[in-house]
Amino acid sequence: MSSSTKVAEARPETRQETAYRRASIAVLPGGAFLEGRWETADRILEVRDPEDGVLLGSVCSSTPQDVRRAVASIHRHLQEDDWALRDRREALERAAVLLADKAVRFAEIIAAESSKTITEAEREVRRCAETLRLSAAASSELVGETLAFEDSMAGADKIGWYTRKPVGIIAAITPFNDPLNLVAHKLGPALIGGNGVVLKPSGRTPLTGLAFIQLLLEAGVPAGRLAAIVSGPGVSEAIVTDPQVNLISFTGGPKTADRIAAAAGAKKILSELGGNNATIVCADADAKAAAASIVAGAFGVAGQNCLSVQRVYVHVSLFEHVLEEVVAGTRALRVGAKFDRTTDVGPLISEAEARRVEEWVEEAKTLGASVQVGGRRSGAFYQPTVLTDVPAEALVISEEVFGPVVSIMPFIQVADAIHAANDSDYGLQAGVFTESIELALAIADKLHVGAVVINETSDVRIDSMPFGGFKKSGVGREGVKHAVREMTEPKSTIIKLAEPATRWQKLTATSERNAS
């Protein structure tokens, strides 16, 4: 049954197209941003297109001393310069408008340095504009309330309230797969909350993050509140261990998160660490609709998506039908150049990653798995792949693949599918297909994940929702207003009152003096 997906014939890029891509990125003013200005002196780290190795630009190789300078500068700014909530909201609103105006340029930068097709990059830019608008609107979350002291033995003679205050300086560490919107999901809430931010974008896709910093400055975000440092010996450790960094917001893998936590010590850490997402297709589901959603959810961004569909459990009565539809849909996908609008699946972020995916699939085959479609690599490209008969111990089942591979398994009892879906160290999201709302809610209640999507796969994120998972999938929640709460802290003001009789005497005396 194995067959290859459609592979676009390679078309050499013209000199004009190469020059255009480079020119689109060359307008960046520097390769790092700290102490309120762009740095250019050590712009020696090359950024290349993973598809063909074309040199796109370069960024600075920074040092721990640069990190200390950047953090100290933000700390001074936070102590010395106020930035009113209204001004913060208006700056983020302007940033959303500016991003919409510059959407073409940002999409081209994303597609050039990442794995995304131009269509996927354009979608990310639109989402980022919405994330900025939601961040501006989250100013309404920065409210407090009066404290119910009268209902406490110790509070009978006190009144008080709390307000929300910024935590201080936030380290935002972001991955390559969503180089714009995931940056906005950290910087937007951090800035509306009144914090300063040190951004460390992925060294694989830094140009998008630096362009975003430039956009925020143009929108009116004070330069003293921002820094961006990409890479260099000791830079990551310097950022997470700096005593003036108050919160670390990290998106990446569990092993890196463990190292961050060990190095950072007693700091607040928010982490989104990926998923090994399952979808359950029940006996009464619409097989064709489920299959179409599985194909879309498994192979977007070449499977390099924390919400990507990785494991699919289908009731035996629909298994052959769903498998046939998924294989047909996968075979119809076009693998090719990112800037070709007929392309559905582009390259992985590097040839090394494509080789890793290839090795995992070969391991699954050795253990007895069957390749229904795909299963071939060419450079950084790996064909969208559908596997069956995959044993539970195979890496493509037990770990996050982060590549264009989906495994489809039959089940008889729903309880077995739930158990299999939960049998993972991750717990980010899951999908359930069924026509029965009662069954859907019963399954959702039993799945140990951060979100369950009914009649869709796990590959759904609405930027306003609380986003995160259980187990190895992370700590805390993103989603704009939820991140704002994580990135601010309640601060209480408490007033001790005089004894009631004393208060009354003072008020009476004051009133009599005023009357006379």
Q: Which of 60, 128, 282, 306 is catalytic?
A: 306
Distance CA 456, CA 472 (A): 23
Q: Which of 113, 272, 353, 486 is catalytic?
A: 272
Sites in the chain below the pLDDT cut of 50? 1-3, 7-12, 15, 23
Same-domain status, 327 and 410: yes
CA distances from 43 to 39, 211, 242, 423, 467 (A): 8, 15, 24, 46, 35
Residue 388 lies in a domain: yes
Domain span at residue 89 reads 18-273+476-490
Residue 168 lies in a domain: yes
Same-domain status, 282 and 425: yes
Residue 131 lies in a domain: yes
Same-domain status, 375 and 258: no
At residue 161, the pLDDT reads: 92
Distance CA 281, CA 453 (A): 12
Same-domain status, 360 and 285: yes
CATH number (domain holding residue 205)? 3.40.605.10
Burial (0-12, 13-18, 19+ Cβ within 10 Å), 484: buried
Cβ contacts of 80-89, under 8 Å, gap ≥ 24: 81/222, 81/224, 83/194, 83/222, 83/225, 85/139, 85/142, 85/192, 85/194, 86/139, 87/220, 88/139, 88/191, 88/192, 88/194, 89/136, 89/137, 89/139, 89/192
At residue 36, the pLDDT reads: 96
**Predicted TM-score of the model (pTM):** 0.91
272 annotated active-site: yes
At residue 152, the pLDDT reads: 84
At residue 1, the pLDDT reads: 43
Residue 444 lies in a domain: yes
At residue 153, the pLDDT reads: 82
Distance CA 215, CA 98 (A): 7
Q: How would you label 130-153 residue by residue, b for 16+ Cβ within 10 Å and e otherwise?
A: bbbbbbbbbbebbeeeebebeeee
Same-domain status, 454 and 381: yes
Distance CA 413, CA 399 (A): 24
Task: State how beta strands 226-228 and 196-200 pair.
Answer: parallel
Sheet strands (E) in 252-304: 268-272, 277-281
Q: Is 34 in contact with 229 (CB distance < 8 Å)? A: yes
Same-domain status, 113 and 169: yes
Minimal CA–CA distance to 271: which of 185, 176, 148? 185
Residue 508 lies in a domain: no
Same-domain status, 139 and 64: yes
Residue 2 lies in a domain: no
* Counted domains in the chain: 2
CATH number (domain holding residue 426)? 3.40.309.10
Same-domain status, 313 and 432: yes
306 annotated active-site: yes
CA distances from 243 to 68, 75, 262, 266 (A): 10, 11, 14, 10
Q: Is 193 in contact with 488 (CB distance < 8 Å)? A: yes
Same-domain status, 166 and 294: no
Alpha carbon 432 to chain centroid distance? 23
Residue 507 lies in a domain: no
Same-domain status, 290 and 195: no
Same-domain status, 245 and 374: no
Distance CA 438, CA 435 (A): 9
Same-domain status, 178 and 34: yes
Distance CA 355, CA 360 (A): 9
Map residue 345 onto helix, strand or coil.
strand
| pLDDT > 70 fraction of the chain, expressed in percent and rounded | 92
Distance CA 63, CA 69 (A): 10
Return phi, psi of residue 55, to 5°. Answer: -70, 120
At residue 2, the pLDDT reads: 45
At residue 197, the pLDDT reads: 98
Task: State how beta strands 429-433 and 474-475 pair.
Answer: unpaired
Residue 455 lies in a domain: yes
